[in-house]
Amino acid sequence: MYIELEKQMDTDTVLGRKKIMLVDDDPVILAAGKEILRDAYRVYPVLSGAILLELLDHVLPDLVLLNVEMPDMNGYQIITMLKNNPKWESIPVIFLTSRADEDSELKGLSMGAVDYITKPFSASLLIKRIENHLLNAEQNGQLKHFNTALQDMVAMKTSQLVSLQNSIINVMTDLVEFRDYATGGHIIRTQAYMRLMAEKMLEEGIYAEETSEWSLEQLVAASQLHDIGKIGISDAILHKPGKLTQEEFETMKKHVEIGVHAISRIESDLEWESVDISFLHHARMIAGSHHEKWDGTGYPLGLQGQDIPLEGRLMAIADVYDALISVRPYKQPMSTEEAKRIIESGSSTHFDPLLVGIFTKVASQFASVARSEVYR
């Protein structure tokens, strides 16, 4: 039986004919319905719900005409099974019934039927209803296909933008490290520290409300631009083989303002382009506030406590830790144990005490990053 059905399906595909399953326990109705529709559609007469369900495993129709009043399994039971099966849920179902009351019609439509036709029905009415619903189903299918294609295109464009963004970041961070070669590996290590702290913070629900809309990947990528303003600082200060004078230090502090200004200009250029600039927001917050201190003695604005953007408070720990364990022209590196003690001793003065608690929990991973050749 199914071999013959598959042969007929191949023929119908070539001819472009839609497949309709007519389900009714009355052979007379089946014969009449088939005669009405046979010129335009391939019609499968089905005597019961059980036969329909068996047939659906071999033939997928474009529409089902379903009688409500049938023994063993009525139309309501059948449509429930169709709509609960992902393979069949999108098949349009038209109820055929002798029940003409409003409640029955409402019940059928609420269960997922696209139409409700009362017997006896005219041939022309039945054909027109079927045409309309098949057209709607085809248009819905095309719309679904279009939406899927559109989503794929958006995903591809987003991926391309992310790749472009990352390429630009890499070039800019390379320029910073080229200018400030004494801090080699600093950017890639602080990026790793930021990821460790942010992941732990999110895991433990610290500052959950503030971070509810954050993208971890954007935050971590943005951290690479924390010292972008050093591009505007002279080589004489950046490469000085010793401690800076107070005047030189004041000049060095301007890298914060330079970085914020550069990032703000990019934000301003993109704000009308309907693109997600939250990455740049993170970058600006980090560049502008990672030298602020919890007790208000930092720079450039002397912000205090939670007035300091959270991104900057995270970056402050990552930045200071890496400076402590790194070689500088004016100092030798500290051990990771010494750096850990200094960060913890700075709780509530230099650093956010909640974030110091997070740091302590991932300090061993910080140390692994600091010792790894991958981050040099």
Higher pLDDT pick, 46 / 129? 46
Eight-class DSSP state of 207 = T
Q: For residue range 87-115, list pLDDT tens digits in order.
A: 999 899 999 887 777 787 788 888 888 88
pLDDT of the residue at 13: 47
Pick the closest to residue 67 from 118, 124, 28 (CA basis).
118
Instruction: Quote the CA–CA distance of 356 and 275 in Å, as a whole number.
Output: 34
Tokens linked to 237: 């200060």
Q: For residue range 248-285, list pLDDT tens digits in order.
A: 999 999 999 999 998 898 878 766 555 567 888 999 99
Q: CB under 8 Å to 17, separation ≥6 — which residues?
A: 40, 41, 42
DSSP bridge pairs for 117: 96
Instruction: Quote the CA–CA distance of 329 and 161 in Å, as a whole number.
Output: 39
pLDDT of the residue at 3: 43
Across the chain, mean pLDDT equals 85
pLDDT of the residue at 242: 80
Helices (H), 206-352: 208-211, 216-222, 235-238, 246-270, 278-289, 310-325, 336-345
Determine the straight-line distance between the first and last CA of the chain, rounded to whole angstroms. 71
Q: Which range has highest mean pLDDT (166-175, 239-248, 285-294, 328-337)? A: 285-294
Amino acid at 116: Y
Position 335 pLDDT exceeds 80: yes
Position 8 pLDDT exceeds 60: no
Least confident of 75-79, 166-170, 267-271: 166-170
Instruction: Quote the CA–CA distance of 82 and 86 in Å, as a whole number.
Output: 8
